[in-house]
Amino acid sequence: MVRIRVPATTANMGPGFDVLGLALSLYNIYEFKDDPNSVLDDKNMIHRAYKYTFQAMGKDVVNAEITVEAEIPSSRGLGSSAACIAAGIMGANSIMGNTLDKEDILNIATQLEGHPDNVAPAIYGGLMISVMDEDGIVTNRLELSDDLRFIALVPEFQLSTAEARAVLPREIPLKDAVYNAGRVSILISALATGRDDLIFQGLKDRIHQPYRGVLIPDFDRIIEISRKFGALGSYLSGAGSTIMCIVKGDTGRFLSDMEKYLSRLPNNWRAIPLQPDYEGAVEL
């Protein structure tokens, strides 16, 4: 039997659309039990990634019963599909004798997911900066100051990535591209040098949030109030529907103020305090 644990991830982080992603302390655990009678279902992302990995290695697929203990809410912008992909590949890799390294796993995962921003931190942990190039994925990893906390505000409604990508424009005006390039640079430099005062400016985005915010009731109000309650900044996590708030140090006051505020809104929002995960996906 193989057991794989994979962290949740928060992608984009404001302006870093399809590029930035951070692993967080919320986990799914996947179990793969050798079972010749089980049937792999191509509609299931874990099964598909598992099967694809055997095929990519030119090996016969070993049928397995796959089960999940899930903490990561699905279709909420917290990387549940990236976790399934990473787990499927790592489960297959383990059964084949661990011949693939993390770089190979990331390349296969990106082929399946289409963009590397969730799968890279799901596999490596930490804050990953990832770009796709002809020869594969180019990545760098950043460790954050250890007093930063990430409070996930998770509504009860789901938002599919396909739906949230469909509302984006096909082309971006040059001034918006420049705007985002500047903000990503400010954000990464702020996180690398501990300039917390720049995080708010560094989270601004004109590529996806203005288009996606309308799909999320109370999006602008929640972002605005989070700042009043002391967040360094907030952003739409991945393709949504979760809103992520970055808070420094003790989160108690922020959490109680935010929970009180959210309880008055529709959609049963809940606030989950998290911290960065630096292990990434591991075999247990």
Binding site for ligand HSE (CB under 6 A): 11-12, 17-18, 115, 117-118, 161, 164-165, 208, 238-239
Written in H, E and C, the secondary structure of 32-80 is: EEECCCCCCCCCCHHHHHHHHHHHHCCCCCCCEEEEEEECCCCCCCCCH
CB of residue 208 to ligand HSE, shortest distance in Å: 6
The kind and range of the H/E element at 26 are: strand 20-34
Quote the tokens at residue 89. Answer: 């590949």
Least Cα distance to 12 among 175, 180, 139 occurs for 180
Cis peptide bond upstream of 38, omega within 30: no
If we measure between CA atoms, which residue out of 153, 121, 159 comes closest to residue 137?
121
Structure tokens given for 273: 């305090």
The nearer residue to ligand HSE, 117 or 218, going by C-beta atoms, is: 117
CB of 113 to ligand HSE, least distance (A): 7
CB of 126 to ligand HSE, least distance (A): 17
Strand blocks (E) in 201-269: 233-236, 243-248
- The amino acid at residue 243 is I
Q: For ligand HSE, which is the closer residue by CB, 63 or 74? A: 74
Amino acid at 119: V
Closest approach of ligand HSE to the CB of residue 118, in Å: 6
Which is nearer to ligand HSE, 164 or 255 (by Cβ)? 164
Q: Which is nearer to ligand HSE, 80 or 251 (CB)?
A: 80
**Nearest to ligand HSE of 115, 204 (CB atom):** 115
| Beta-ladder partners of 137 | 132
**CB of residue 161 to ligand HSE, shortest distance in Å:** 4
Q: Which of 23, 258 has the CB closer to ligand HSE?
A: 23
Phi, psi of 129 (to 5 degrees): -105, 120
Cβ proximity to ligand HSE: between 126 and 238 the closer is 238
Token pair in block for residue 122 = 């799901």
Enumerate residues 6+ apart whose C-beta is below 8 A from 19.
Answer: 12, 117, 129, 130, 131, 184
Min CB(196)–ligand HSE separation in Å:
25
Shortest separation between residue 30's beta carbon and ligand HSE, angstroms: 19
Q: What span, in angstroms and rounded, lies between the C-alpha atoms of 124 and 105?
A: 10
